[in-house]
């Protein structure tokens, strides 16, 4: 089967030149991991590598680019799911690790999501060294921190995600985030759930947006269910976005759909001003500006 991959760096308001700057990174990462998929790498391993690349890039709100919460600490969340394992696996609100996605992958065999200090302790026991992701930019929000946990959100969250299909037809999805910045310590957003990340034998999804709202409509899970019920992918996304709109929110998703005739659909969907994304299928690179 023809492999493919799609990555995202967040759905958000347009930021002009910064958009192009970020898209160039995502294009590069998509091209690199696509080559690995063509050589026979599994979808799970390919998205892990893609997310590591984005977590190591301080441009994105994941890993080294994560924002501090109200208590000036960084807590990161990463979750994966794939068509072979079926169950989601990941880490929630882990501290002082470089790549939370590697922690998520570590939990694949047991199919669990671990959270908080216990998750951090688990990673330490398995060789994850202490790493401080805080940089001066970690404190720079589009909205400044105020005296007290702020109810607002970043105007431009850049949570990252990846979805891939390998030469055996296996699908995998992953999402990683450093939060919204300045939030109440310990906040759990949609990335910890299948509202943000979902994968089975026919579809893989990673999303971006305001976590509580995405969680309220079960974004990725709702799209998956509607596709299973017979809706075309585009119609399933539109119906779910309409539900978000009723709540006053917007979002973006990337998806891979393997149809009954083994036709592969790889597309982004968003109702925000823009979404940072890039995909590769059949040696064709597509992206935000293509």
As annotated, the active-site residues are 159
Task: Give the dihedral of Cα atoms 191, 63, 75, 125; nearest 10 deg.
Answer: 100
Q: How far apart are CA 49 and CA 31, in angstroms?
A: 12
Burial 27-36 (b: 16+ CB within 10 A, else e): bebbeebbeb
**Pairing relation of β-strands 113-115 and 89-94?**
parallel
How far, in Å, are 78, 96, 185, 242 from residue 189 at the CA level? Answer: 11, 19, 12, 20
Q: How far apart are CA 127 and CA 261, in angstroms?
A: 44
DSSP letter, residue 231: -
**DSSP secondary structure of 124-178:** HHTTPPP-----GGGG--SS---SS--S---SS---EEEEEE-TT--EEEEEEE-
Hey, what are 47's tokens? 């998205």
């Amino acid at each position: 089967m023809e492999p493919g991959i799609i990555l995202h760096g967040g759905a958000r308001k347009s930021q002009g030149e910064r958009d192009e700057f970020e898209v160039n990174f995502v294009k590069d990462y998509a091209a690199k991991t696509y080559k690995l998929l063509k050589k026979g790498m599994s979808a799970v391993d390919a998205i892990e590598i893609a997310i590591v690349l984005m977590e190591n890039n301080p441009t994105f709100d994941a890993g080294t680019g994560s924002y501090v919460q109200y208590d000036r600490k960084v807590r990161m969340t990463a979750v994966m799911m794939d068509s072979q394992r079926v169950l989601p696996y990941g880490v929630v609100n882990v501290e002082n690790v470089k790549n939370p996605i590697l922690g998520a992958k570590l939990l694949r065999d047991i199919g669990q999501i671990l959270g908080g200090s216990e998750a951090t302790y688990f990673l330490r026991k398995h060789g994850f060294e202490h790493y401080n992701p805080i940089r001066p930019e970690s404190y720079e929000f589009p909205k400044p921190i105020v005296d007290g946990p702020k109810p607002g959100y970043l105007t431009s969250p850049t949570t990252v995600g990846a979805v891939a299909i390998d030469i055996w037809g296996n699908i995998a999805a992953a999402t990683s985030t450093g939060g919204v910045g300045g939030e109440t310590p310990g906040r759990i957003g949609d990335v910890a759930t299948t509202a943000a990340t979902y994968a089975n034998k026919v579809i893989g999804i990673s999303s971006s947006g305001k976590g509580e709202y995405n969680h309220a409509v079960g974004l990725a899970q709702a799209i998956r269910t509607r596709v299973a019920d017979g809706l075309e992918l585009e119609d399933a996304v539109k119906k779910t976005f309409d539900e978000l709109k009723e709540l006053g929110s917007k979002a973006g998703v990337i998806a891979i759909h393997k149809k009954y005739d083994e036709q592969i659909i790889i597309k982004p969907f968003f109702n925000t001003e823009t979404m940072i994304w890039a995909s590769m299928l059949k040696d064709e690179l597509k992206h935000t500006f293509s």
